[in-house]
Structure 1
Amino acid sequence: MRIRTLTGRVPAAQVKENPEPIAPGLIERLKKLEDLSGLVSDVLDEFGLEGTVGSTTLRPTLDRTVVATVVTQRNVRQDVTAFTNVSNRSWKMSEIEGINQCDPGQALVIEGVPDVSNMGGLMAAIAKYQGLAAAIVDGGVRDIGSSRSIDFPVWSRHVTPLTGKWRCTTVEINGTVNIAGCQVNAGDLLVADETGVCFVPRDWVERVVDRCEQIALYEERISVLTKREGSTMQDFLDSLYGKI
Structure 2
Amino acid sequence: MTGVRDDGQSMDVAAVEDLRVRYIRLYGGAIYDVLDEMGYPNQVLATDLVPIEPGSVVVGPAFTIQGVSDPMGDEELSQRRIRLFSEMRYPCVDVRDCGFDVRVAHYGEMNATLGVKHGAVGAIVDGGVRDVRLLREMGFPVFARYRSPVEAKKRWSYYRWQVPITLRGAMSATVTVHPGDFMFADQDGVLAIPKALTVAVLEAAERLAGLENSARTEFAENPDTEAVYQKYGRL
Answering whether residue 86 of structure 2 is matched by residue 107 of structure 1, we say no
How far did residue 52 of structure 1 move? Answer: 1.1
Trace 1:81-230 onto structure 2 (pairs within 5 A).
Answer: 85=73, 92=78, 94-112=80-98, 113-180=101-168, 181-228=174-221, 230=222
**Partner of residue 10 from structure 2, selected from 20, 23, 29:** 20
Rounded Cα–Cα distance in structure 1 between residues aligned with 2:3 and 2:198: 23
Indicate if the aligned counterparts of 2:219 and 2:225 stay in contact, CA closer than 8 A.
Answer: no
Cα shift at 1:129: 3.4
SS class of match (1:203): helix
In structure 2, distance between residues paired with 1:135 and 1:194: 15
TM-score, normalised by the number of residues in structure 2? 0.83
| Structure 1 residues 89 and 177: alpha-carbon distance in aligned structure 2, compared to 1, 3 A threshold | closer
Distance 2:20 2:140 in 1: 19
* Structure 2 CA distance for aligned equivalents of residues 202 and 174 of structure 1: 14
Question: Residues 119 and 142 of structure 1 are in contact (CA less than 8 Å); yes or no, is this contact kept in structure 2?
Answer: yes
Does residue 45 (structure 1) correspond to residue 36 (structure 2)? The answer is yes
Write the distance in 2 (CA, Å) between the matches of 1:147 and 1:190.
20
CA distance in 2, matches of 1:238, 1:184: 38
Bigger Rg, which one: 1
Matched-pair identity in %: 24
Output the TM-score relative to the length of structure 1: 0.80
| 8 Å contact kept, 2:61–2:181 | yes
Give the gaps of 5 or more residues in structure 2: 169-173
Number of the residue aligned with 1:11: none
1:240 maps to 2:226: no
Contact 1:18–1:174 (CA under 8 A) maintained in structure 2: no
- Structure 1 unmatched ranges of 5 or more: 5-15
Q: Secondary structure at the match of 1:53?
A: coil
Output the CA distance in 1 between the equivalents of 2:8 and 2:142: 21
Deviation at 1:224, TM superposition (A): 0.7
Question: How far is 1:134 from its partner?
Answer: 0.3
Q: 1:59 aligned to 2:16?
A: no
Task: Decide whether aligned partners of structure 1 residues 155 and 140 sit closer, same or farther in structure 2, where only a CA change above 3 A counts.
Answer: same
User: Is this contact kept in 2: 1:20–1:187, CA < 8 A?
Assistant: no
CA shift for structure 1 position 29:
2.7
- 1:135, distance to aligned residue in structure 2 (A): 0.6
One-letter amino acid of the counterpart of residue 188, structure 1: D
Q: Structure 1 residues 191 and 204 mapped into 2: Cα distance closer, same or farther (>3 Å)? A: same
What is the SS of the residue equivalent to 1:129? helix
Aligned equivalent of 2:69: 77
Per the alignment, residue 223 of structure 2 pairs with: 231
Q: Which residue of 1 aligns with 2:25?
A: 32
Corresponding residue pairs, total: 222
- CA shift in 2, pair 1:154/1:96, >3 Å: farther
Equivalent residue letter for 1:47: M
Deviates more, 1:103-112 or 1:56-65: 56-65
CA RMSD of aligned residues (A): 2.7
